[in-house]
Structures are given as structure tokens and as C-alpha cells.
Amino acid sequence: MTTILGILNITEDSFSDGAKYLDPVAAIAHGLALVTDGADVLDLGAASSNPESKGVPPQVEIGRLTPVVAALNGVALSIDSYSLPVQRWALAQGVAYINDIHGFADASLYPELAGSAAKLIVMHAVQEQGVATRVDIAPEAIMGRIERFFETRLSALERAGIARARMIIDPGMGFFLGTDPRTSFTVLGNLAQLKARFGLPILVSVSRKSFLRRLTGRDVQSSGAVSLAAELFAIRQGADYIRTHAPGALRDALLLDKALKESD
């Protein structure tokens, strides 16, 4: 069964919807709409990580998140942040997931992670810290890099007493894998290899990504069809979680797929 994470950007410079939901009232309304459309979880990010984004102090992230998290009580929430103060704040709120684009690089947080019940989305990125940057990684090199990253990081988390059953792996997509679109396509085509290697649920986030837009020549707002196609392909390759701007379209496609299978 696929778990759908609806993307809720509470930012001023997200590549897809910057400033659109910066106001708490707009953010809360959009979050509820995403749940109505089919999101099982809301992934809240208060600091963008695209290459053009500005830095956001932790207190600003927390300030943006606080009213939205409070209003969405009862909804399964994920906090998308690599900032330690923000992650600590999120753990104190009892959120269901913490989503870190650097895969929990700072071991000082591990005792608190071990003492929590939150599931951890352990993401790989070719950038070791900060936001995504434009680096060139050859497609033939990427799978080795990803596997080495997860071997090291998952072992470190387990040694700290964090149950493996709480971990979800995300190989990264788009600029998190480099500037060459072929690198993202290579990873999409090898998701089954990752699942077999680590035996953990996989999250994929391709929604509106630049590598898909470059392929099709579409802009951000008209890239829904190619995003959905890539999400369905990822599910066929073994992805368990899909992080998307359009949970309604994905839910409908999955309902159709289920109906067709049951009609055989």
C-alpha cells in the first residue's frame, strides 16, 4: 500500500509555490485540502532547500510551523528540516515523521531520536550540508554513492539505539543527485535494487522536479502529468511512500489501478 505525503511549503522561496502558503491561514487551509484530496501525511517545510533559496534561521522556521502544526492537530505530520533546533522542536510536538535531506548527519541528536516514536525519513543528497547546490554527478557513479551513504548512516542510527523499523530511505531526486537529469532517471530505474539491498521502505519525491521539466519542456505549474507518470513508475519499482504536490491525482490513479487489478 502506498502512503502519500502531501507537500505543504510554508516558505517564501520554494521553487513550486513560494510565498503562496506563507500566511498561516492559507497554509492550514491548503493542508486540510491536501488531506481531503488523499494525503495520508502532510510534509511541512518552513525553509526551502532549492539552489536559489535563502537561508532561514531556526527560530523563523519554528515560528512558521507553530500555528500550522497546532491547527492540524489530529493529522499525521512530517517536519521537513535539517536544522537541529527545528528537529528538536518537532520531536517535542510529537510529530509522526522527521524528514531530513541530509539523513540525520549530526549524531548529537541521536539520543533524542532513539527516545522518540517518530519515523525517520533518511534522505541521501550529494551535498553534505546546506541547501541543494549545482554539482555534476555522472549517472554511472550515483548508485554506488547512494548505497555507501545508506550503509554508513543506517548503521550509525542503529548503533545509537534507533530501531531499523522506524527508518524510511529516500535516495534523493533532482538537484539533490546533481545537475544531470540522467542521474535521477538512473536512480528511478534502480529503486528495486535499493529495496533489495536495504530491505526498508523507500520514499520518492519527484513532484515538479527540474529533471522532469527539462525532459518535457513544461514549466512548474504544467508539470503535473509527467510528475504523476514518474510517481506511478516509482511505485511499480517498489516505492512505498510518495511525496507530492498533487495527492488527489495520485490517489485517483491508484484507485484506478486497484479497480483494474480486482476486475481481472
- pLDDT more than 70, % of the chain: 94
Query: And the C-alpha cell for 158?
Result: 542503529
pLDDT tens digits, 74-115: 999 999 999 999 999 999 999 999 999 999 999 999 999 999
The vertex-14 CA angle with 28 and 22, nearest 5°, equals: 30
Q: What is the pLDDT of residue 131?
A: 62
pLDDT tens digits, 193-222: 999 999 999 999 999 999 999 999 999 999
β-bridge pairing 119-123 and 41-45: unpaired
Which among 68, 78, 116 has a CA at the least distance from the CA of 100? 78
pLDDT tens digits, 7-19: 999 988 766 666 7
pLDDT tens digits, 157-170: 999 999 999 999 99
Does 2.60.40.1120 match the CATH number of domain 3-262?
no
The 3-state DSSP class for residue 98 equals strand
Helix axes of 24-37 and 247-262: crossing angle, nearest 10 degrees? 10
As a whole number of angstroms, the distance between CA 229 and CA 231 comes to 5
pLDDT band at 231 (very low <50, low <70, confident <90, very high): very high
- The answer, yes or no, to whether residue 132 has pLDDT greater than 60, is no
For the entire predicted model, the pTM comes to 0.94
- The answer, yes or no, to whether residue 226 has pLDDT greater than 70, is yes
